[in-house]
Amino acid sequence: AGSVTVGNDEDYLYVTINSTAGFQNTEDNVKMWLGTDITELPTNKKGTPILGKFPYKYTVTFGDTNLTFKILLTDINNWPTTEDACAQDISIIVHGDVLTTAGDETSGETAFAGDTVGDDPRWWYLVNYTTMCCKEIPVDKT
């Protein structure tokens, strides 16, 4: 259905969502939750994520195929208060209302991104990401 790419610099986390065929013509067709503690994920009694309670929602215009969220690292729940943001583990759940055939509004499906299966009888997936260190690279002056 597409791909999700995650990266960071010293201040921001970037989550880019690409739908191969585009997104359904619906409101909030991309929803995302992220955090350093997966136990804070809003779920129902069975453990299924409650998409309506995800803090990041966006409506991608019908016909567009990608979106990038730019999130301040310090806005992520339980982000360390130290200056160093190296090697912090983040769980990211991305849900999209996607199309399976470009331009065909009747070909809609829902999709989760990730390679880790959620802990619930109903299917969902998540992306585990570890932030990279963003330090100046020394210049060899020889």
C-beta of residue 38 within 8 angstroms of C-beta of residue 93: no
Nearest to 99 by CA among 109, 91, 87, 88: 109
Q: Can you give the pLDDT of all 142 residues of the chain as single tens digits?
A: 899 999 999 889 999 999 999 999 999 999 999 999 999 999 999 889 999 999 999 999 998 999 999 999 989 988 876 666 678 999 999 999 999 998 888 899 999 999 889 877 788 999 999 998 766 555 666 5
Question: In the prediction, which pLDDT does 119 show?
Answer: 79
For residue 80, CA distances in Å to 73, 87, 89, 142 come to 9, 11, 11, 38
Q: Where are the beta strands (DSSP E) in 51-131?
A: 56-58, 66-72, 89-99, 108-112, 116-117, 125-130
Question: In the prediction, which pLDDT does 80 show?
Answer: 79
Nearest to 56 by CA among 19, 23, 95, 88: 95
